[in-house]
Amino acid sequence: MHWTGKVDPIAFYIGGRGIAWYGIFITCGMLLALWVSIRRMRRLKATTDQMMTLFLIVIPVAVIAARLGYVVANYSHYFVKPYDWNAFVNTIAIWEGGLTILWGVPGGALAGIVWCKIYKKDFIRSTDIILPVALLAQAIGRWGNFMNQELYGQIVTNPALQWFPMSVYIADLGSWCQATFFYEFVLDLVGFGVLSLLYKRVDVKGFGTLGYAAWYTLTRAILEFFRVEENSFEQRLGFNLVQVICFVVAGLCVLGIGAMCIVKKLKKGEKVWYAGGFEIEKPREPADLVEE
């Protein structure tokens, strides 16, 4: 068996409870995204304390929403009879894996709206800055899927392609499969890099938000066709084609809206592109105010 099929989803134990690699990677991704977001939100004069408050509001809500979406999508596994205490614990056991970004992002966005209302920040401008950073967190989180042997693709029968990261050995199947988790890891990093290059140079409200939405939907359109879980490829083909079409249409619509926003601003004679980047004013932290 190849080493990719021997990975242990549990990193270590504390008090007899296993701490999963999945949770560790997700947490690391969140913390790195928070650090980058704190630096970038200086554009809107958000302080570190305000960003920590955002983190404490958004993350729990996003995790709950992401878990809820996963449970709903796999209701037959979680809502069993009799639905006793053990079944309930299994339903909320995020430490064993099982989150979906499709519900997590909207859940976090709703919490973000509350934060923007409290601190009087523009919601769209805030998501323009923060959402692209989510690609970085998602990329790191995909390694949690690797440790759980999740998000793999079709079985690879060609020995010339049975090498990591082209494919990954799935122990439960006893076969090599397409390493779609790694493909998404790479695409998320590329997306973060592209949007980061444009971050300080394109001044169009909604550009970062639409850029994230377009990149994510088109990435999912590419990968969803290859992903396979419990059912065979033939059983999932029709369902996957519907998802692929939906993601492609959504991505193209988002790109169209973004283009319209740019054209609209250009027609007003306003500047859109800053080759050297525009200045970002650093917010005054509470300590700075005390010194004055």
- Number of structural domains (the chain) is 1
Segment 52-75 shows an average pLDDT of: 90
Establish if 92 belongs to a structural domain. no
Residue 83 placed within a domain: no
Is residue 104, in this structure, part of any structural domain at all? no
Q: What percent of the chain has pLDDT over 70?
A: 88
Does 213 fall in a domain? yes
Q: When comparing pLDDT for 36 and 71, which is higher?
A: 36
- 108 occurs within a structural domain: no
Q: What is the mean pLDDT of residues 205-219?
A: 90
Q: What is the pLDDT of residue 141?
A: 93
What's the predicted TM-score (pTM) here?
0.82
Domain that holds residue 265: 3-46+121-291
φ, ψ at 167 (rounded to 5°) = -145, 170
Is 69 a member of any domain? Answer: no
Q: How far is CA 178 from the centre of its chain?
A: 20
Contacts of 177 (CB under 8 A, 6+ apart): 152, 153, 154, 155, 156, 167, 168, 169, 170, 228
Residue 212 lies in a domain: yes
Burial class (CB in 10 A: 0-12, 13-18, 19+), 8: exposed
Q: Ramachandran region of residue 66, left (φ > 0), alpha (ψ -120 to 50) or beta?
A: alpha
C-alpha 138/C-alpha 101 separation (Å) is 8
